[in-house]
Structure 1
């Protein structure tokens, strides 16, 4: 996967970003090289965490979460050899996707509303995964939209609320299996590929949160006759990705550690 690719040491290329991303190309140029260096550091930490638990690091995907960041910074990380990026907002990924190479593997990792499904699928032809399917309704909307558009089947993860926080999206752990069954039986245009959870409010998680997701995977695999490698675990972000890897994560979502603090518009 991406963290095993040869990284280009000369990764200073920038492109002109969209005006409404709150950061000009000149500002991006001022931080030129920092994101590529941060990516290399993250990949090294991923490798070390994998070594500590006896896992091959090439089985762990790093999703570079570029929420609120301008196209020049994404391009810098792309030029450093990375190909997997994640976005939280439909409008933002629709805006960025056409400005970047088509071989990017986009992961949608935000809350997805039914009325945004078609714009997301039509606006991002290289969308690889929706990681945040948390009920049958959104699964059905995705399934119908994929079929109507005629694109290849879409990989999806089921989002599980492992912390029990009311503010969090995600199916309850006890209901995870039934949602997975619905996707595999009733959504022919979707490919169930794994489970996802979001960390605590400070973007960290306890071992119990990760253990809960691993337990959900064990139940799903047992009931559906799947091998564990057929059910990914998307868990771990900037504050806790090493712990997540040590507890079995195959997909870590790293934002601020690569791109710096998020910059929100002041409205």
Structure 2
């Protein structure tokens, strides 16, 4: 498979995805610039990410610490990196040290990881790190994330107890096939109502990261402000070896 052909396809796919995002945003009564698109480059080479960057995209996401730590230093510093999913405490320091342009962690799912992030951010004296609280809206035991009933308590801990973190909103991963039902999205919307009420925040100040390649249009129509699009832009994942977070 020729790399240039793949790279051309990725840029074409990016433009197609952005058009779909814009149309979904319009259907939701919003502008497309009110929805952030995180291009999730898991398992994809730096050369392919660079092509999407050169096409004008600046926000990229990874799911594995080792992968983002290897890729980020090889790419322009103005990339806005998102770490997505469960983060282990012992990986926090290597992640923040290797990726100074890490913009957001989408996946704070307990107080322990929030506290560790807070300590490390303070220790390296970087600006406050934006975080989203991960909520398990599908109720699957295999999924990370706080139960919906615990989202207020965890959000409150991040906002009030972690001065080096910036509570920015809520996220959910979705069902086993990485698509979600309207019920999952509604559950996150309900969590936002409860969190904003408890913290005295306006709902528009609380982001909702929901929606992936299989369901991002529906997610946007239901109010998502942040969608994580991987295979739709980059093509199917490639797993040459077992990966570890």
Q: TM-score, normalised by structure 2?
A: 0.97
2:229 to 251, 254, 257: 254
Partner residue, 2:99 = 124
Matched, 1:67 2:42: yes
Gaps of 5+ in 1: 1-25
- Kindly state the Cα deviation for residue 80 of structure 1 after the two structures are TM-superposed: 0.5
Partner residue, 2:126 = 151
Q: How does 1:29-178 map to 2 (within 5 A)?
A: 29-178=4-153
Matched, 1:234 2:209: yes
CA separation in 2, counterparts of 1:69 and 1:27? 14
CA separation in 2, counterparts of 1:238 and 1:193? 22
**Secondary structure at 1:198 match in 2:** coil
CA separation in 2, counterparts of 1:183 and 1:225? 14
CA separation in 1, counterparts of 2:160 and 2:2? 49
2:174 to 199, 212, 216: 199
RMSD, aligned α-carbons: 1.0
- Kindly state the Cα deviation for residue 219 of structure 1 after the two structures are TM-superposed: 0.6
CA separation in 2, counterparts of 1:40 and 1:58? 15
Moved over 6 A (4+): none
**Secondary structure at 1:33 match in 2:** helix
- CA deviations on 1:197-252 (whole Å, 9 max, x unpaired) are 01111111100000000000011111111011210000000000000001100000
CA separation in 2, counterparts of 1:210 and 1:191? 23
Report 1 or 2 for greater relative contact order, CA contacts < 8 Å, sequence distance ≥ 6.
2
CA separation in 2, counterparts of 1:52 and 1:110? 28
**Secondary structure at 2:144 match in 1:** coil
- Kindly state the Cα deviation for residue 265 of structure 1 after the two structures are TM-superposed: 1.2
**Secondary structure at 1:32 match in 2:** helix
CA separation in 1, counterparts of 2:84 and 2:241? 23
CA separation in 1, counterparts of 2:114 and 2:3? 37
- Kindly state the Cα deviation for residue 152 of structure 1 after the two structures are TM-superposed: 0.5
- CA deviations on 1:160-218 (whole Å, 9 max, x unpaired) are 00000000000000000000111111100000001000111111110000000000001
**Secondary structure at 2:7 match in 1:** coil
- Kindly state the Cα deviation for residue 266 of structure 1 after the two structures are TM-superposed: 4.0
Partner residue, 2:197 = 222
CA separation in 2, counterparts of 1:28 and 1:87? 21
Q: TM-score, normalised by structure 1?
A: 0.89
**Secondary structure at 1:237 match in 2:** coil
Partner residue, 2:164 = 189
> Which is greater in Rg?
1
CA separation in 1, counterparts of 2:65 and 2:95? 6
